[in-house]
């Protein structure tokens, strides 16, 4: 071999030696030799049948935490066939990209079934624009914003999302200011509506100049920023991915976020509020008041037992309403709330039907089952008259509404909750009904409260004096925001109800949120529609898991705290409940 060939061999040997040295340094720097020795010792003493499987599992436990590699957004349909957004999060897991979570969030418009076609078409256009904007946000901004983030860093993720959302809000305000500067509008101040009162001896059709108490005008609707659904959906998707990384069910992961890892030894299931009938404005018949007549199971019933009871009750109600009455067959249909919409001409009619159905099943209304009424009063106000139209042609002032509810509860003590009995603007009447009935039943604000973001944004936000609030995870609400508001509500000695949208998707995470946030109730609608059944099914799974892991605790009986002389005009993070309370109990 010549000197040139010998040189090539020496150079190759030197390169091989240097490569071995770099490899040794690389593995030594990453602690591989020690880890391998530890793994071999552990595996040897455990003596597994599958040695390589055991080694793979062992190294999986010490591998790097997954990080978000990218997000995708898709245009999908919700349970009513309306456009909404799906968010998927993918992570790098052991050097491979893997889908970690997917969320479909409702993009409900909040419109009722009775809206006119023009409003429905306008809402549809806004929905399409909002979905398109949300997908643009996800693709162009949120995807690079969260890339490289560990999914378990929920607070950091939510802060990034909130900062981006705030930036978009400020951008919208600037655009609006420029628009108003170019085309100034003359403001028209809203005035209280002063209904005229008829004199007893006035001729028919004439009104007296004597006026009744004026009512406050309706507050402007909270503006919803187009695309904001991307924020809420992404935050929930990050939480779901974090629960996968932690190898924990979502409800336990949410509970750990709420309690900062210090989990209670026992947890309870939320009480399901199951919609049985709808007799509101969108239903046939004369009555407008009862948008939802809701069943509340006894606190000692499991989710499984509760659903079985309400399935039987729903079937019996259907049989009763199929019968021919003196006035002919009962008009009914099915609503997006997952229940029967029934034509009723009297306030007592739906309650009497439920009472009769209970009698057939030998259930005691008021003990085995109690009731809640979603009055949806904000949908009943006739602003030309300044009164609520509780039935077609039957109008009542806010003060008369309070009297009506007091009479209704006295005649039907099985009703232990009223949801939105008045508009949020009727603060005086909310206080009156609270002082009168809050020791007998829950007075719940749903549409009558503010959005989660508004509750956090201002500490002096006026809200009705109530027993509790319905929380909804929608639009720009992050998981961190939701946790913060629930803690504020609990600090005010109020109860939390997790509620679904009227236009729901098949996403079942709401059940996990309700359990993890320790909500007293969960309001999902009826048992008929599939997008609602998925959430009830998820509750069944969670209950079984909690029972198997021995963390399922018994619920407490209903307690209706009355807080005397406590003006409830805001939620304050440093407020503690008054110690001077009178409590009423319902067993």
Active site residues: 472
The predicted model gives 269-295 an average pLDDT of 91
Burial class from Cβ neighbours inside 10 Å (0-12, 13-18, 19+) for residue 464 reads buried
Percent of the chain with pLDDT over 70: 85
What is the 3-class SS of 263-296, one letter each residue? Answer: CCCCECCCEEEEEEEECCCCCCCCECCCCEEEEE
Nearest to 110 by CA among 421, 375, 374, 500: 500
CATH code given to domain 67-169+225-247: 3.30.390.10
Average pLDDT over the chain reads 85
Q: What local confidence, expressed as pLDDT, does residue 563 receive?
A: 62
User: Could you give phi then psi for residue 535, rounded to 5 degrees?
Assistant: -75, -40
CATH class held by domain 267-549: alpha beta
Q: Is the pLDDT of residue 4 over 80?
A: no
Listed in order, strand segments (DSSP E) in 412-516 are: 415-419, 442-445, 468-471, 495-499
198 vs 266, which has greater pLDDT?
Answer: 266
Structure tokens at 288: 């407008």
Of 25 and 356, which is predicted with more confidence? Answer: 356
Q: Rounded to the nearest 5°, which phi and psi values hold at 497?
A: -120, 125
User: Does residue 572 surpass a pLDDT of 60?
Assistant: no
pTM of the entire predicted model: 0.86
DSSP string, 467-488: SEEEE---TT--HHHHHHHHHH
Provide Rg for the chain, Cα atoms.
29
pLDDT value at 412 more than 70: yes
Q: What is the pLDDT of residues 391-401, one digit of tens each?
A: 999 999 999 99
For residue 359, how many other CB atoms are within 10 A of its CB? 12
Identify which of 229, 233, 248 has the alpha carbon closest to the alpha carbon of residue 88: 233
Apex CA 328: angle with CA 327 and CA 331, to 5°? Answer: 105
Could you report how far apart the first and last alpha carbons of the chain are, in Å?
Answer: 101
- The answer to whether 67-169+225-247 and 267-549 have equal CATH topology is no
pLDDT tier for residue 573 given thresholds of 50, 70 and 90: very low
pLDDT, greater one: 126 or 121: 126
**Residue boundaries of the structural domains of the chain:** 25-63, 67-169+225-247, 267-549
Confidence bin at 115 (pLDDT 50/70/90) = very low
User: pLDDT digits over 41-74, tens only?
Assistant: 888 888 888 988 888 787 777 788 899 999 999 9
């Amino acid at each position: 071999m010549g000197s040139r060939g010998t040189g090539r061999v020496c150079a190759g040997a030197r390169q091989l030696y240097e490569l071995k040295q770099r490899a040794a340094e690389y593995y030594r720097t990453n602690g591989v030799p020690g880890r391998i020795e530890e793994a071999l010792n552990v595996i040897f003493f455990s003596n597994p049948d599958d040695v390589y499987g055991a080694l793979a599992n062992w190294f999986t436990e010490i591998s790097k935490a997954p990080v978000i590699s990218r997000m995708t957004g898709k245009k999908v349909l919700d349970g009513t066939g309306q456009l909404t957004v799906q968010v998927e999060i993918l992570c790098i897991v052991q050097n491979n990209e893997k889908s970690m979570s997917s969320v479909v969030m409702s993009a409900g418009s909040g419109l009722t079934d009775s809206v006119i076609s023009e409003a429905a078409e306008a809402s549809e256009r806004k929905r399409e624009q909002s979905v398109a904007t949300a997908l643009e946000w996800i693709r162009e901004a949120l995807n690079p914003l969260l890339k490289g983030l560990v999914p378990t860093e929920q607070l950091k993720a939510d802060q990034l999302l909130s900062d981006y959302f705030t930036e978009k809000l400020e951008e919208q305000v600037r655009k609006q200011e420029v628009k108003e500067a170019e085309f100034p509008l003359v403001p028209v101040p809203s005035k209280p509506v002063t209904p005229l009162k008829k004199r007893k001896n006035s001729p028919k059709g004439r009104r007296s100049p004597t006026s009744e108490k004026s009512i406050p005008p309706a507050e402007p609707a909270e503006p919803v920023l187009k695309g904001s659904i991307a924020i809420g959906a992404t935050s929930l998707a990050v939480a779901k991915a974090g629960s996968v990384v932690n190898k924990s069910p979502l409800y336990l992961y949410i509970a750990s976020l709420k309690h900062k890892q210090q989990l209670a030894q026992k947890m309870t299931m939320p009480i399901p509020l199951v919609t049985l009938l709808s007799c509101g404005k969108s239903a046939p018949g004369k009555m407008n008041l009862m948008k939802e007549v809701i069943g509340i199971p006894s606190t000692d019933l499991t989710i499984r037992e509760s659903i079985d009871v309400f399935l039987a009750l729903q079937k019996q109600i259907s049989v009763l309403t199929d019968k021919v009455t003196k006035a002919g067959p009962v008009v009914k249909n099915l609503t997006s709330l997952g229940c029967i919409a029934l034509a009723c001409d009297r306030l007592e009619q739906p309650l009497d039907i439920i009472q009769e159905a209970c009698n057939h099943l030998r259930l005691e209304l008021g003990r085995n089952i109690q009731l809640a009424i979603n009055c949806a009063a904000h949908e009943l106000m006739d602003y030309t008259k300044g009164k609520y139209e509780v039935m077609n042609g039957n109008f009542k002032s806010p003060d008369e509404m309070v009297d009506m509810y007091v009479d209704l509860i006295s005649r039907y003590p099985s009703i232990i909750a009223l949801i939105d009995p008045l508009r949020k603007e009727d603060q005086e009447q909310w206080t009156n009904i609270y002082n009168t009935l809050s020791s007998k039943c829950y007075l719940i604000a749903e549409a009558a409260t503010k959005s989660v973001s508004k509750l956090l944004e201002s500490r002096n936000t006026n809200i009705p004096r109530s027993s509790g609030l319905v929380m909804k995870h929608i639009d720009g609400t992050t998981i961190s925001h939701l946790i913060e508001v629930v803690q504020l509500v609990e600090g005010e000695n109020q109860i939390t109800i997790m509620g679904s949208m009227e236009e729901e998707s098949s996403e079942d995470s709401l059940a996990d949120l309700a359990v993890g946030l320790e909500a007293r109730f969960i309001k999902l609608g009826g048992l008929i529609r599939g997008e609602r059944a998925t959430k009830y099914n998820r509750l069944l799974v969670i209950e079984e898991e909690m029972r198997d892991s021995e963390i399922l605790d018994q619920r407490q009986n209903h307690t209706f705290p009355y807080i005397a002389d406590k003006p409830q005009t805001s939620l304050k993070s440093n407020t503690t409940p008054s110690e001077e309370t009178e409590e009423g109990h319902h067993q």
